[in-house]
Amino acid sequence: RYHEVMMVCSILIFHTVNMFTDLPPAVASSPPIRHKVEEASRLFGYMVLAFDWPEHWKQPVINKLAAFFPAIAELWQNRRTPGWVTQQSRQLTQLAFVKPVQQEPVPDAGEELYNRHRFLYSWVVRDCETVVRSYKAALLSVTDATV
């Protein structure tokens, strides 16, 4: 399951970061959108830093995220500092993205749970661009911006 979760996160981060970089400058500089993009970039930046990816995979994503969340470059430089993980995990819990959500009941371990997990996993992997387009539509609805 670890690899599947990493795959889903990787796919969504990749497509969402590319969507951010494709926003027209007038839209990306709109204060409400800029705030949402910065917050998402910060969350994605922390996730990328935490992922067990080779550094040559992380660096291009970190470079793109730095356009929206400049502090990620400093975090990248300090990632091997003792206590860094503990300090950053505290920061991460302060993000508006990271809050408890109402979840539907999870079935007991077994066939039903396995089937639900496989369905959600295949949906995200198969329709990741649709997921990102939906996020983009929600992001742009924050203001009158259109793309």
Q: Which of 28, 30, 58 is nearest to 44 (CA)?
A: 58
Q: Check if the beta carbon of residue 45 is closer than 8 Å to that of residue 72.
A: yes
State how far the Cα of 94 lies from the Cα of 83, in Å rounded to an integer. 18
pLDDT average, residue stretch 40-58: 80
Model confidence at 147, in pLDDT bands (50, 70, 90)? very low
51-to-57, 77, 86 alpha-carbon distances in Å: 10, 16, 15
pLDDT tens digit string along 56-114?
888 888 888 888 778 777 777 877 777 776 777 677 666 665 555 556 676 677 788 77
pLDDT at 46 over 60: yes
**In the prediction, which pLDDT does 145 show?**
46
Q: State the CB neighbour count (10 A cutoff) for residue 20.
A: 23
pLDDT at 19 over 80: yes
Q: Check if the beta carbon of residue 27 is closer than 8 Å to that of residue 33.
A: yes
pLDDT tens digit string along 108-142?
777 887 787 788 778 777 877 887 888 788 777 76
State how far the Cα of 145 lies from the Cα of 147, in Å rounded to an integer. 7
Q: Say which residue, 146 or 10, is predicted with more confidence.
A: 10
State how far the Cα of 32 lies from the Cα of 54, in Å rounded to an integer. 34
* The overall pTM is greater than 0.85: no
